[in-house]
């Protein structure tokens, strides 16, 4: 085929281009933003100022789509590390046991990651990146999408259009304009509020650990993440459901002190702050069920956050975007088969986040008996995983999107949980 046009040059659009350039003579990636020539934040990706963890699976797929990219990032300061060995994972108030998971993490700021992906994709044969172009509508002929229209009225013809424009995607509206049904939209109102600060990182901080993840609990619905970044920095994001951390240094530390574990408080209390603090408010996690449609025009696909914008605390968005881009290598680029394939990619991370969110006070949604059962089991699982590195590793394989959530209920895992005799226990100290 000749020409693919992708709306959005963020992670999802760029990785889609990395896949599609193998099939199309020309791939055009358009973005409404001015794309920075250096690794910098930009308007369309305001989230880049907050902790952006890349799951091990996402790193692996990016290396498959853009061979050697991890090594290039490391050469520019990104940090490699085992996701269990160098990390403090505190879930359900339990500190997961250390071990060697074999899950290779890559710690890198979002601007550096996206900047390097953009450089690599822009250099691929046939790929063209175009900035300051706003897609405002679809062109169509006889039930097939044949391109897009830009804000200045210019038509851009294409054999395939991929909407990777993020959670604000206009495709549902455009479908209506063309006389097609809109996808069902599932929303979980989380009202998650982020506050983020960066700090100077010293080698002795956190005894050399690189990652801290403190998940919120129903009793303490506040969480936080610290990630080691290039240029000897920490990025620390604190989050609350329905309440924001204060951004002043002492308010920030005070909020950190109220998390289910003391590690982030210990870090931010003495660390030297760098740059300006930032906030972000995420009203809802949104999933658009394109896979449930029975009528959809050929020549159009939707991917990334435009399909599913997760609760960002779980760090899944970029990995899901990479897995969906990988699906574009499939020989069948029919719209409905594509949506069915990526629905399978989205199902597990959506189930994980929604199950977790529905435990939080104030988060409304369909708390089914199955979710209640799974949540009760996971409390015991985490208590057991605090003493069992194998269980901790199994949990991290699910969290990093290698294994499906039911694997945590396999007979082998169940037996280990039951044998541990673990009940819900008091949090262990740092
Ligand atoms: C606060 C926060 C923290 C997050 N933390 C993590 C994390 O730790 N780990 C993780 O993996 N993911 C995280 N995510 C999710 C991650 O940022 C996204 O999943 C990822 O960027 C992929 O999204 P996307 O490319 O589909 O859309 P986006 O990143 O939203 O990009 C959409 C792009 O489309 C462009 N655009 C929009 N409309 C148009 C138009 N009409 N015409 C032309 N261009 C257009 C925009 O300028 C933008 O460049 C986080 C998200 C948020 C909000």
pLDDT digits (tens, 9 = 90+) for 189-235: 999 999 999 999 999 999 999 999 999 999 999 999 999 999 999 99
Q: How far apart, in whole angstroms, are the C-alpha atoms of residue 308 and residue 323?
A: 13
* Domain-ending residue, one of 266, 284, 302: 284
Average pLDDT of the chain, as a whole number: 95
Looking at residue 424, its pLDDT comes to 53
Positive or negative: CA dihedral 377, 383, 384, 389 = positive
- The Å distance, Cα 305 to ligand 1 centre, comes to 6
Q: What is the DSSP letter of 135?
A: E
Between CA 330 and CA 319 the distance in angstroms is 18
Largest CA distance in the chain: 67
Measured in angstroms, how far is the CA atom of residue 228 from the centroid of ligand 1? 21
Q: Residue 97 class from Cβ within 10 Å (0-12 exposed, 13-18 middle, 19+ buried)?
A: middle
The parent domain of residue 384 ranges over 369-420
Do 245 and 376 have their domain in common? Answer: no
Mutation probe of ligand 1 site: the residue of 6, 8, 115 with most atoms within 8 A of C-beta: 8
Query: For the chain, what is the total number of helices (H) and then of strands (E)?
Result: 12, 18
What average pLDDT does range 237-255 have in this prediction?
96
Q: CA 139 to CA 183: how far, in whole Å?
A: 20
* Ligand 1 pocket residues where CB is under 6 Å: 7-13, 30-33, 44-45, 47, 50-53, 134-135, 164-166, 194, 280, 282, 304-306, 312, 315-319, 321
Distance separating alpha carbons of residues 2 and 360, to the nearest angstrom: 49
- Cβ atoms of 74 and 116 within 8 Å: the answer is no
Q: How many Cα neighbours within 13 Å face the side chain of 242?
A: 10
Domain check: are 373 and 245 in the same one? no
Residue 425 lies in a domain: no
Q: Is residue 398 part of a domain?
A: yes
Q: Which of 284, 307, 327 is the last residue of a domain?
A: 284
The verdict on 160 and 200 lying in the same domain is no
Select the more confidently predicted residue: 340 or 105. Answer: 340
Residues 10 and 59 in one domain: yes
Reported as a single tens digit per residue, the pLDDT across 281-335 is 999 999 999 999 999 999 999 999 999 999 999 999 999 999 999 999 999 999 9
Question: Do residues 278 and 295 share a domain?
Answer: no
Which ligand 1 atom is at minimum distance from the Cα of 164? 26
Q: Quick one: 160 and 194 in the same domain? A: no
pLDDT tens digit string along 401-414?
999 999 999 999 99
The predicted pLDDT at position 368 comes to 87
In terms of domains, do 180 and 198 share one? no
Domain presence at residue 430: no
Q: Which residue has the CA at smallest separation from atom 53 of ligand 1?
A: 47
How large a percentage of the chain has pLDDT more than 70? 98
Count of the separate structural domains present in the chain: 3
Judge if 182 and 192 occupy the same domain: no
d(Cα 286, Cα 313) in Å, to the nearest integer? 14
Nearest CA, atom 4, ligand 1: 312
Tell me the sheet residues that pair with 141: 144
pLDDT at 428 over 60: no
Q: How far is the CA of 12 from the centre of ligand 1 (A)?
A: 8
Sign of CA dihedral 14, 19, 22, 27: negative
- Whole-angstrom Cα distance, residue 52 to residue 277? 15
Measured CA to CA, the distance from residue 160 to residue 19 in angstroms comes to 13
Q: Whole-angstrom Cα distance, residue 421 to residue 227? A: 33
Shared-domain flag, residues 113 and 151: yes
Least confident window among 39-53, 63-77, 94-108, 236-250: 39-53
Closest residue to atom 47 of ligand 1, CA basis: 44
170 Cα: distance to centroid of ligand 1 (angstroms): 14
């Amino acid at each position: 085929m000749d020409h693919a046009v992708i709306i959005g040059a963020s992670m999802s659009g760029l990785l889609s281009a990395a896949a599609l350039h193998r099939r199309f003579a020309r791939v055009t990636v358009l973005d409404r933003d001015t794309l920075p020539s250096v690794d910098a934040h930009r308007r369309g990706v305001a989230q880049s100022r907050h902790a952006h963890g890349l799951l091990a699976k996402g790193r692996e797929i990016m290396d498959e789509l853009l061979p050697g990219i991890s090594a290039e990032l490391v050469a520019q300061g990104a940090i490699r590390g085992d996701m269990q060995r160098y990390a403090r994972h505190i879930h359900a108030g339990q500190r997961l046991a250390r071990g060697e998971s074999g899950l290779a993490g890559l710690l890198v700021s979002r601007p550096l990651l996206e900047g390097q992906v953009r450089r690599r994709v822009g250099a691929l044969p046939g790929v063209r990146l175009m900035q300051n172009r706003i897609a405002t509508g679809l062109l169509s002929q006889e039930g097939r999408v044949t391109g897009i229209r830009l804000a200045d009225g210019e038509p851009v013809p294409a054999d395939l259009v991929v909407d990777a424009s993020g959670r604000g995607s206009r495709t549902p509206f455009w479908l209506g304009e063309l006389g097609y049904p809109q996808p069902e939209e599932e929303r979980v109102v989380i009202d998650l509020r982020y506050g983020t600060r960066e700090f100077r990182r010293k080698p002795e901080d956190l005894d050399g650990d690189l990652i801290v993840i403190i998940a919120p609990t129903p009793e303490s619905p506040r969480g936080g993440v610290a990630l080691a970044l290039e240029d000897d920095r920490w990025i620390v994001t604190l989050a609350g459901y329905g309440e924001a951390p204060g951004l002043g240094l002492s308010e920030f530390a005070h909020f950190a002190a109220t998390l289910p574990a003391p590690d982030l408080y210990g870090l931010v209390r003495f660390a030297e702050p760098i740059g300006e603090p930032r906030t972000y408010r995420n009203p809802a996690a949104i999933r658009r069920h394109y896979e449930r449609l029975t009528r959809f025009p050929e020549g159009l696909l939707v991917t990334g956050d435009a399909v599913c914008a997760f609760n960002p605390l779980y760090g899944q968005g970029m990995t899901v975007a990479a897995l969906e881009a990988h699906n574009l290598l499939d020989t069948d680029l029919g719209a409905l088969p594509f949506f069915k394939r990526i629905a399978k990619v989205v199902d597990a991370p959506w189930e994980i986040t929604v199950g977790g969110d529905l435990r939080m006070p104030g988060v409304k949604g369909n708390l089914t008996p199955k979710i209640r059962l799974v949540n009760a089991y996971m409390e015991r699982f985490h208590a057991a995983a605090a003493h069992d590195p194998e269980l901790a590793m199994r949990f991290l394989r699910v969290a990093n999107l290698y294994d499906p959530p039911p694997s945590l209920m396999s007979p082998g895992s169940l037996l280990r949980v039951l044998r541990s005799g673990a009940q819900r226990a008091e949090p262990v100290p740092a």
